[in-house]
Structure 1
Amino acid sequence: MDDDQSFVNSYPSVQPAPDEGVISVDVSRDALVDSMTDMSETPIPPDIIASVGTTADNEEENGRLTLAYERLYEIPKTIVERFSDHIKYLDISHNKITNLDALVYFKSLTSLIADDNPITENCYLPPLPKLELLWLNRCKIASLYPWVGKLKESCPNLQYLSLMGNPAAPSYFNGGTFYEYLQYRLFVISQFPSLNHLDDRRVTEDQRLEAQRLYKRPFFERMVKPAGLSQIVNTSVTWNTFQNKINNFLGKDKQGNRNLLI
């Protein structure tokens, strides 16, 4: 079909470093491209065929597709063409994917598992208005700004979000303090009114109210002056910089009541 061929020609390709090995999988030909040899094609291992080919035959019925642990640098074009219209649950965890642009074709997607991929704050999700669950644990997201705002625009109806193990999500596990964790948590909650679960904990009504109080626009504007809100919206700001600003604004006495929110 002309439309399909046009899509194949226009779909961006993400190329890895020369020493990374396998760079893509072509399920339609049961072959993969190997950058470490002079051969243009080698057979796909049986485990990949089993998980992508055999399992995929049943996806029209249950709307689930798993591409985990396949050493992928991108979502294969053949998978996008064949399943994007009806897949609701997609697992691409434990790969080497850095670009999620292909998800724009998954119009019915409600759940996305993308743990353990080298995804950074420079990777923006395309509009996914039906997405309710997003897991990006143990990725490479180092800054919340402006990434969280872009995520809110792309996925306004998120109910379950998990960012554990990212540098931008402070916790005891990556050297963050309780106060850093609390600030991170309340800010993310403030961006998603429908969020029911963040990381490993349910969002409580007290947390939601406190998040709205702290991060409503007048407060936010006062906090970022004199540079102005546009500086945070349009540039990447580290969490430490933002934390220093909010610490100065709130004062250290705020920490005395911090245990009430968790």
Structure 2
Amino acid sequence: MNYFENVIGGSGDEGVIAVDVSRDVLVDPVTNMSETPIPPDLLTLSADGSAESDEESTKLTLAYENLYEIPRTIAERFSEHIKYLDISHNKITNLDPLVHFRHLTSLIADHNPITENCILPPLPQLQLLWLNHCKIASLYPWVSKLKQSCPRLQHLCLMENPAAPSYLNGGTFYEYLQYRLFVISQFPSLNHLDDRKVTEDQRSEAHRLYKRPFVERLVKPGPGGFSQLMHTSVTWNALNNKLANFLGKERQGNRNLLI
């Protein structure tokens, strides 16, 4: 039987509305999902906030529900009030239903088979995004599209993705450094990347290496040129190797950054 359980005041997840979605709810969100019943007490609770504080009524978790999609019923009924959404530890590959969550400021989507082909819809208020342990294998152009969707992003975690090399997945320090600088260069407002704070030295170096006028000078027409990489999904190693050929020995003189 489908049910929604209000766990406000419970231990551990105080203030979070936990949703338990059984298998028969996991249907095509475009067809039958809108007909899924929701208890009237939860609708009343979330609509006017009379039984809880404003902060508590803006948190929703769908974690560990074996979901393949964000249920459209939930998106349409609760999106106007939700600012914090946890959809971690599911099987979600499509984030299009998030378009309903116009006021979302925090999204936790760890441990989902999300790839670089999954583009977030416009989330102009989003400040925190966790996509740890997903399947993102290419940074470009995915990062640029993420910037367009989430221009106010301040906290981003991509750890344990193939496109985020680190000691955790066999990446070298150099690969990790270049990955970090490239991502920082795309988000001027980013304060925290993965498990470390963004420093002013990193921001300056990222701007020097990857600012748009610099990249545009590297673009050459014709097949095999850097312009081809700019318009296709490529792995970080491919992009990094191409840049290394252009930069030559310049990078060898760069100072090491504490990260």
Shorter-chain TM-score: what band? 0.7 to 0.9
User: Aligned pair in 2 of structure 1 residues 54, 184: CA closer, same or farther (>3 Å)?
Assistant: farther
Whichever structure has more helix as a proportion of its residues is 1
Give the distance between the partners of 1:255 and 1:77, measured in 2 at CA. Answer: 51
Indicate the residue corresponding to 2:34 in structure 1. none
TM-score by length of 1: 0.76
User: Aligned pair in 2 of structure 1 residues 70, 55: CA closer, same or farther (>3 Å)?
Assistant: farther
Give the distance between the partners of 2:26 and 2:120, measured in 1 at CA. Answer: 28
Counterpart selection for 1:194 from 189, 193, 199 = 189
Indicate the SS of the match to 1:211.
Answer: helix
Unaligned runs of 5+ in 2: 1-18, 28-37
Q: Per-residue deviation at 1:32? A: 1.5
Unaligned runs of 5+ in 1: 1-24, 36-48
Which residues of 2 match residues 51-130 of structure 1 at below 5 A? Answer: 59=46, 60=49, 61=54, 62=56, 63-130=58-125
Indicate the SS of the match to 1:112.
Answer: strand
User: Aligned pair in 2 of structure 1 residues 76, 53: CA closer, same or farther (>3 Å)?
Assistant: farther
Counterpart selection for 1:245 from 242, 246, 249 = 242
TM-score by length of 2: 0.77
Q: Per-residue deviation at 1:33? A: 5.2
Give the aligned residue type for 2:24.
L
Q: Per-residue deviation at 1:240? A: 1.3
User: Aligned pair in 2 of structure 1 residues 176, 110: CA closer, same or farther (>3 Å)?
Assistant: same
Indicate the SS of the match to 2:74.
Answer: helix
Give the distance between the partners of 1:34 and 1:217, measured in 2 at CA. Answer: 44
Give the distance between the partners of 1:189 and 1:198, measured in 2 at CA. Answer: 8
Which residues of 2 match residues 1-262 of structure 1 at below 5 A? Answer: 32=24, 59=46, 60=49, 61=54, 62=56, 63-227=58-222, 230-252=227-249, 254-255=251-252, 257-262=254-259
Give the distance between the partners of 1:189 and 1:106, measured in 2 at CA. Answer: 25
User: Aligned pair in 2 of structure 1 residues 164, 258: CA closer, same or farther (>3 Å)?
Assistant: farther
Q: Deviations over 1:185-236 (max 9, x none)?
A: 0010000000000000000001001111111123212334355665334211
Q: Per-residue deviation at 1:77? A: 1.8
Give the distance between the partners of 1:53 and 1:26, measured in 2 at CA. Answer: 16
Give the distance between the partners of 2:40 and 2:170, measured in 1 at CA. Answer: 42
> Once structures 1 and 2 are overlaid, which stretch shifts more, 216-225 or 193-202?
216-225
Percent of matched pairs sharing the same residue: 75
User: Aligned pair in 2 of structure 1 residues 165, 156: CA closer, same or farther (>3 Å)?
Assistant: same
Q: Per-residue deviation at 1:241? A: 1.1
Q: Deviations over 1:87-118 (max 9, x none)?
A: 00000000000000000000110000000000
Give the distance between the partners of 2:41 and 2:88, measured in 1 at CA. Answer: 19
Runs of 4+ aligned residues of structure 1 deviating over 6 Å after TM superposition are 52-57
